[in-house]
Chain A
Amino acid sequence: QVQLQESGPGLVKPSQTLSLSCNVSGGSISSVNYHWTWIRQHPGKGLEWIGNIYYSGTTYYNPSLKSRLTISLDTSKNQFSLKLTSVTAADTAVYFCARGDLGMVPGPFDYWGQGTLVTVSS
Protein backbone atom coordinates (compact mmCIF):
# COMPACT_ATOMS: atom_id res chain seq x y z
CA GLN A 1 0.00 0.00 0.00
CA VAL A 2 1.46 3.34 -1.07
CA GLN A 3 1.78 5.90 1.68
CA LEU A 4 3.03 9.47 1.63
CA GLN A 5 4.03 11.40 4.74
CA GLU A 6 4.97 15.05 4.92
CA SER A 7 7.51 16.29 7.44
CA GLY A 8 9.03 19.62 8.32
CA PRO A 9 8.74 22.61 10.65
CA GLY A 10 5.25 23.73 11.54
CA LEU A 11 6.38 27.30 12.14
CA VAL A 12 8.53 29.43 9.87
CA LYS A 13 9.51 33.07 10.34
CA PRO A 14 8.70 35.65 7.68
CA SER A 15 11.40 36.07 5.01
CA GLN A 16 12.86 32.64 5.82
CA THR A 17 12.71 29.43 3.77
CA LEU A 18 9.97 26.85 4.16
CA SER A 19 11.36 23.33 3.72
CA LEU A 20 9.22 20.18 3.60
CA SER A 21 9.90 16.58 2.72
CA CYS A 22 7.55 13.85 1.61
CA ASN A 23 8.52 10.29 2.43
CA VAL A 24 7.10 7.70 0.06
CA SER A 25 6.63 4.10 1.15
CA GLY A 26 5.17 1.14 -0.71
CA GLY A 27 6.56 2.25 -4.06
CA SER A 28 9.65 3.66 -5.74
CA ILE A 29 9.97 7.36 -6.33
CA SER A 30 12.19 6.51 -9.31
CA SER A 31 9.36 4.87 -11.25
CA VAL A 32 8.66 6.26 -14.70
CA ASN A 33 4.95 5.75 -14.06
CA TYR A 34 4.47 8.60 -11.60
CA HIS A 35 5.09 12.24 -10.89
CA TRP A 36 5.34 13.77 -7.43
CA THR A 37 3.42 16.87 -6.51
CA TRP A 38 3.01 19.50 -3.83
CA ILE A 39 -0.40 21.07 -3.24
CA ARG A 40 -1.43 23.52 -0.55
CA GLN A 41 -4.65 24.68 1.03
CA HIS A 42 -4.93 28.01 2.78
CA PRO A 43 -7.08 27.88 5.92
CA GLY A 44 -10.71 27.50 4.94
CA LYS A 45 -9.89 27.84 1.25
CA GLY A 46 -9.49 25.70 -1.83
CA LEU A 47 -6.62 23.64 -3.22
CA GLU A 48 -3.66 25.27 -4.94
CA TRP A 49 -1.25 23.31 -7.13
CA ILE A 50 2.32 24.23 -6.20
CA GLY A 51 4.41 22.14 -8.58
CA ASN A 52 5.65 18.69 -9.44
CA ILE A 53 8.67 16.64 -10.38
CA TYR A 54 9.13 13.63 -12.64
CA TYR A 55 11.53 10.71 -12.24
CA SER A 56 13.82 12.41 -14.76
CA GLY A 57 14.11 15.45 -12.52
CA THR A 58 11.96 17.61 -14.78
CA THR A 59 9.94 20.09 -12.77
CA TYR A 60 6.91 22.26 -13.40
CA TYR A 61 5.98 25.10 -11.09
CA ASN A 62 2.96 27.28 -10.44
CA PRO A 63 3.85 30.54 -12.20
CA SER A 64 2.81 32.53 -9.16
CA LEU A 65 5.41 30.72 -6.99
CA LYS A 66 8.09 29.88 -9.54
CA SER A 67 10.60 32.53 -8.51
CA ARG A 68 10.67 31.23 -4.92
CA LEU A 69 10.20 27.51 -5.43
CA THR A 70 12.41 24.45 -5.74
CA ILE A 71 11.17 20.85 -5.84
CA SER A 72 13.69 18.04 -5.80
CA LEU A 73 13.97 14.25 -5.58
CA ASP A 74 16.13 12.24 -3.20
CA THR A 75 16.06 8.73 -4.59
CA SER A 76 18.38 7.40 -1.88
CA LYS A 77 15.75 8.22 0.74
CA ASN A 78 12.72 7.68 -1.51
CA GLN A 79 11.65 11.24 -0.75
CA PHE A 80 10.89 14.44 -2.56
CA SER A 81 11.15 17.92 -1.14
CA LEU A 82 9.87 21.45 -1.41
CA LYS A 83 11.72 24.66 -0.66
CA LEU A 84 9.90 27.97 -0.74
CA THR A 85 11.98 31.05 -0.06
CA SER A 86 11.10 34.49 1.29
CA VAL A 87 7.86 33.33 2.90
CA THR A 88 5.14 35.64 4.15
CA ALA A 89 1.93 35.12 6.08
CA ALA A 90 0.27 34.40 2.74
CA ASP A 91 2.21 31.13 2.63
CA THR A 92 0.48 29.86 5.77
CA ALA A 93 -1.37 26.75 4.64
CA VAL A 94 -1.74 23.01 4.91
CA TYR A 95 0.79 21.50 2.53
CA PHE A 96 0.00 18.15 0.90
CA CYS A 97 2.28 15.89 -1.06
CA ALA A 98 0.66 13.63 -3.64
CA ARG A 99 1.47 11.06 -6.29
CA GLY A 100 0.33 11.59 -9.87
CA ASP A 101 -0.33 8.39 -11.76
CA LEU A 102 0.77 8.75 -15.38
CA GLY A 103 -0.99 5.50 -16.16
CA MET A 104 -4.19 7.43 -15.67
CA VAL A 105 -3.22 10.01 -18.27
CA PRO A 106 -2.47 12.85 -17.67
CA GLY A 107 -1.55 12.02 -14.11
CA PRO A 108 -4.27 12.69 -11.53
CA PHE A 109 -3.36 12.52 -7.86
CA ASP A 110 -4.27 9.05 -6.64
CA TYR A 111 -2.41 9.01 -3.32
CA TRP A 112 -2.09 11.92 -0.90
CA GLY A 113 -0.26 12.57 2.32
CA GLN A 114 -2.26 13.60 5.38
CA GLY A 115 -1.09 17.19 5.03
CA THR A 116 0.99 19.34 7.34
CA LEU A 117 0.11 22.81 8.58
CA VAL A 118 2.83 25.39 8.12
CA THR A 119 2.34 28.73 9.82
CA VAL A 120 4.42 31.74 8.87
CA SER A 121 4.76 34.01 11.87
CA SER A 122 7.40 35.78 13.88
Chain B
Amino acid sequence: YEVTQPPSVSVSPGQTARIPCSGDKLGDKFACWYQQKPGQSPVLVIYQDTRRPSGIPERFSGSNSGNTATLTISGTQALDEADYYCQTWDNNIGVFGGGTKLTVL
Protein backbone atom coordinates (compact mmCIF):
# COMPACT_ATOMS: atom_id res chain seq x y z
CA TYR B 1 0.00 0.00 0.00
CA GLU B 2 1.30 3.44 -0.85
CA VAL B 3 0.35 7.00 -0.08
CA THR B 4 1.51 9.92 -2.20
CA GLN B 5 2.28 13.52 -1.32
CA PRO B 6 3.45 16.42 -3.48
CA PRO B 7 7.15 17.13 -2.92
CA SER B 8 6.56 20.79 -2.14
CA VAL B 9 3.90 23.33 -1.26
CA SER B 10 4.40 27.08 -0.95
CA VAL B 11 2.27 29.54 1.00
CA SER B 12 2.42 33.20 1.95
CA PRO B 13 2.48 34.11 5.64
CA GLY B 14 -1.02 34.38 7.05
CA GLN B 15 -2.56 32.33 4.26
CA THR B 16 -3.90 28.77 4.35
CA ALA B 17 -1.69 25.87 3.38
CA ARG B 18 -3.19 22.57 2.28
CA ILE B 19 -1.10 19.44 1.95
CA PRO B 20 -2.78 16.42 0.33
CA CYS B 21 -1.99 12.76 0.84
CA SER B 22 -3.48 10.29 -1.62
CA GLY B 23 -3.99 6.55 -1.43
CA ASP B 24 -6.48 3.94 -2.54
CA LYS B 25 -9.54 4.28 -0.28
CA LEU B 26 -7.44 6.18 2.22
CA GLY B 27 -10.65 7.55 3.69
CA ASP B 28 -11.41 4.06 5.00
CA LYS B 29 -8.27 4.17 7.13
CA PHE B 30 -7.03 6.56 9.79
CA ALA B 31 -4.44 9.11 8.72
CA CYS B 32 -2.06 11.11 10.85
CA TRP B 33 0.46 13.83 10.14
CA TYR B 34 3.95 14.60 11.39
CA GLN B 35 5.96 17.81 11.21
CA GLN B 36 9.74 17.55 10.94
CA LYS B 37 12.12 20.49 11.07
CA PRO B 38 15.75 20.17 9.98
CA GLY B 39 17.86 18.15 12.37
CA GLN B 40 14.89 17.32 14.60
CA SER B 41 12.70 14.30 15.24
CA PRO B 42 9.20 14.33 13.78
CA VAL B 43 6.32 15.67 15.86
CA LEU B 44 2.77 14.36 15.68
CA VAL B 45 0.41 17.20 14.70
CA ILE B 46 -2.76 15.33 13.65
CA TYR B 47 -4.04 11.82 14.45
CA GLN B 48 -7.27 9.94 13.70
CA ASP B 49 -7.70 12.14 10.62
CA THR B 50 -8.80 15.26 12.51
CA ARG B 51 -7.59 15.22 16.12
CA ARG B 52 -4.86 17.44 17.51
CA PRO B 53 -2.53 16.22 20.28
CA SER B 54 -2.17 18.41 23.31
CA GLY B 55 0.04 21.39 22.61
CA ILE B 56 -0.53 21.53 18.86
CA PRO B 57 -1.93 24.93 17.76
CA GLU B 58 -5.52 25.15 16.56
CA ARG B 59 -4.37 26.37 13.17
CA PHE B 60 -3.50 22.75 12.34
CA SER B 61 -6.46 20.69 11.17
CA GLY B 62 -7.04 17.57 9.13
CA SER B 63 -9.59 15.79 7.01
CA ASN B 64 -9.80 12.42 5.28
CA SER B 65 -12.34 11.30 2.72
CA GLY B 66 -12.38 9.18 -0.40
CA ASN B 67 -8.82 8.74 -1.56
CA THR B 68 -7.33 11.86 0.02
CA ALA B 69 -6.33 13.04 3.46
CA THR B 70 -5.49 16.72 3.81
CA LEU B 71 -3.50 18.65 6.37
CA THR B 72 -4.62 22.26 6.57
CA ILE B 73 -2.64 25.00 8.26
CA SER B 74 -4.64 28.19 8.70
CA GLY B 75 -2.87 31.52 9.19
CA THR B 76 0.46 29.90 8.32
CA GLN B 77 3.44 31.28 10.19
CA ALA B 78 7.12 31.27 9.31
CA LEU B 79 7.74 28.74 12.06
CA ASP B 80 5.46 26.28 10.25
CA GLU B 81 8.06 25.90 7.51
CA ALA B 82 9.00 22.21 7.71
CA ASP B 83 8.60 18.81 6.11
CA TYR B 84 5.23 17.17 6.65
CA TYR B 85 4.56 13.45 6.43
CA CYS B 86 1.26 11.65 6.29
CA GLN B 87 1.09 8.17 7.75
CA THR B 88 -1.48 5.41 7.85
CA TRP B 89 -1.76 1.70 8.59
CA ASP B 90 -2.48 -1.12 6.18
CA ASN B 91 -3.02 -4.52 7.79
CA ASN B 92 -0.89 -3.51 10.81
CA ILE B 93 1.93 -2.28 8.56
CA GLY B 94 2.89 1.37 8.91
CA VAL B 95 3.04 3.41 5.72
CA PHE B 96 4.50 6.89 5.33
CA GLY B 97 4.02 9.29 2.48
CA GLY B 98 7.13 10.64 0.81
CA GLY B 99 6.85 13.97 2.60
CA THR B 100 6.01 17.52 1.55
CA LYS B 101 8.30 20.45 2.08
CA LEU B 102 6.22 23.46 3.13
CA THR B 103 7.82 26.77 2.24
CA VAL B 104 6.46 29.95 3.78
CA LEU B 105 7.41 32.93 1.63
Residue in B closest to A4 when the chains form the complex, CB atoms = B41
Known contacts A52-B94, A109-B42, A115-B41; decide if A47 and B99 are in contact (CB<8 Å).
yes
Cβ-based interface call for A62 (8 A):
yes
Which residues from A are CB-within-8-Å of B96? 39, 46-49
Cβ-based interface call for A26 (8 A):
no
Cβ-based interface call for A104 (8 A):
yes
Residue in A closest to B87 when the chains form the complex, CB atoms = A108
Cβ-based interface call for B48 (8 A):
yes
Chain A residues touching B, range: 20 to 34
Q: How many residues of B contact A (CB 8 A)?
A: 24
Cβ-based interface call for B47 (8 A):
yes
Which A residues from 40 to 82 make CB contacts under 8 A with B? 46-49, 52, 60, 62-63
User: What is the CA–CA distance of A69 and B44 in the complex, to the nearest angstrom?
Assistant: 26
B95 with A49: CB separation less than 8 A: yes
B94 with A46: CB separation less than 8 A: no
Partner of B44, one of A49, A52, A62, A109: A109
Which A residues from 79 to 122 make CB contacts under 8 A with B? 96, 104-110, 112-115
Cβ-based interface call for B102 (8 A):
no
Known contacts A46-B97, A48-B96, A49-B94; decide if A104 and B42 are in contact (CB<8 Å).
no
State the B residues within 8 Å of A (CB).
30, 32, 34, 36, 41-44, 47-48, 51, 53, 83, 85, 87, 89, 92-99
State the A residues within 8 Å of B (CB).
37, 39, 46-49, 52, 60, 62-63, 96, 104-110, 112-115
